Amino acid sequence: MTTAPPLIDFPFSPRGDRLPPEIERLRATPVTRVRTIAGDEAWLVSSYELCKQVLEDPRFSLKDTSAPGVPRQYALTIPPEVVNNMGNITGAGLRKAVLKAINPKAGGLTEWMADHAAHLVDGLLDYGPPVDLRGRFANPYAEHLHCHLLGVPRDDAPLLASSLDIAFMNSACPITGARLNWDRDIAYMAGRLNDPATDGLMAELAALRGDPDYAHLTDEMLATVGVTMFGAGVISTMGALTMAVFTLLQNPEVWRQLCAEPGRIPSAVDELLRVNLSIADGLPRLAMDDMQLGDTEIKKGELVLVLVEAANTDESVFPDPHTIDIDRPNAAAHLSFGYGGHYCPAVPLGKKHIETAIQALTTRLPGLHLAVPVDQLVWRTRFMKRIPERLPVAW
């Protein structure tokens, strides 16, 4: 009698500076059975073609990954109904307002980002090396940007950011503090709706309350838009920016190229996103029907995890995938923003955020380099974030 091989535990590695060796071993079996942090079984998908298929097929549902009784990737740390956040925003008729707020071409937003990145670099210069680039640049840049978009005071960023460690934590069990933080942040955003000093997106949402077409909206629903936009936006932009700069510091010849030719920075951003390993977990979907995925039969109700970092280093799509090639013609085909119906609507903003940050750093700090060996960095894994705790740099 033969016994089934032991399940692979997933995710693999907490480090964001190297592709886990398990990924190369999965190339021959791009749909593999794994055990999640929550102890449940799932299918891990790792080839570009099959990852893309899962992300664009509506029979693989994001919304239903939060349903009771289904296999879990990890315990929920936000209310179940918020998992499909952009779908909820669209269903409530708020998509237009949100897309307007995150459009980098609207309202001088690109200029604001460039100015604020330069302001933060001034702060680095005043502080002097060594400095924690994540704590004094990437984190505040992401937090201040989302305060600006929402129209809430920049001074309130630490309060809102204090919830993120729990809200975006990978845990096998529910965390009591998650609900306490959520309720506090919802109360904060609801209060902003009634504050005449509020501008930005929260002011636009507040104004909708006088429109009969939006009578179905409650203050809690509108506040939820603010809380989720700050949380998901800060975590994703901060993680992507931290790892983009870290990648450049690990590839000094590419850094020097961008310092010498700043006009190449916009085209380099997609390549930096392609090799970004901060996502870490895999994008979850629940199979809503029995279906075939490559050579594997997926059953209704099974959990499927899309391993973005494996898709983005699939040699059949990206030749010589481990080389940073800022001229790669198909770099924008990466799946770091998802694909299909849940493709991230903030893509232009996310790219411009990284571009303006790198512009500011390469212009003012061309000698930027890591102040400690890579092996001395302490790595931390949370949802959408496999990044160094601190990123000490000097110049």
Tens-digit pLDDT profile for residues 67-122 = 999 999 999 888 888 888 888 888 889 999 999 999 999 999 999 999 999 999 99
Residue 15 has pLDDT above 90, yes or no: no
User: What are the tens digits of pLDDT across the range 112-166?
Assistant: 999 999 999 999 999 999 999 999 999 999 999 999 999 999 999 999 999 998 8
How far, in Å, CA of 241 to CA of 26, rounded? 28
The closest alpha carbon to 194, from 231, 155, 152, 233, belongs to 152
The closest alpha carbon to 303, from 141, 107, 18, 73, belongs to 73
How far, in Å, CA of 80 to CA of 69, rounded? 12
Write out the two tokens for 156: 């309130």
- Is the C-alpha dihedral spanning 59, 63, 66, 68 positive or negative? negative
Q: How far is CA 118 from the centre of its chain?
A: 23
Q: How many residues can be counted in the chain?
A: 395
The closest alpha carbon to 178, from 107, 76, 55, belongs to 76
Write out the two tokens for 320: 């010589």
pLDDT recorded at residue 97: 92
Is the distance from CB of 180 to CB of 163 less than 8 angstroms? no
DSSP code, position 298? E
Peptide bond into 130 cis (omega under 30): yes
Write out the two tokens for 198: 């509020």
User: What are the tens digits of pLDDT across the range 264-283?
Assistant: 999 999 999 999 988 778 99
87-96, 204-213, 256-265: segment of lowest average pLDDT: 87-96
DSSP code, position 385? E
Is the distance from CB of 345 to CB of 322 less than 8 angstroms? no
Where is mean pLDDT largest: 21-25, 76-80, 289-293? 289-293
pTM of the model: 0.94
Is the distance from CB of 337 to CB of 87 less than 8 angstroms? no
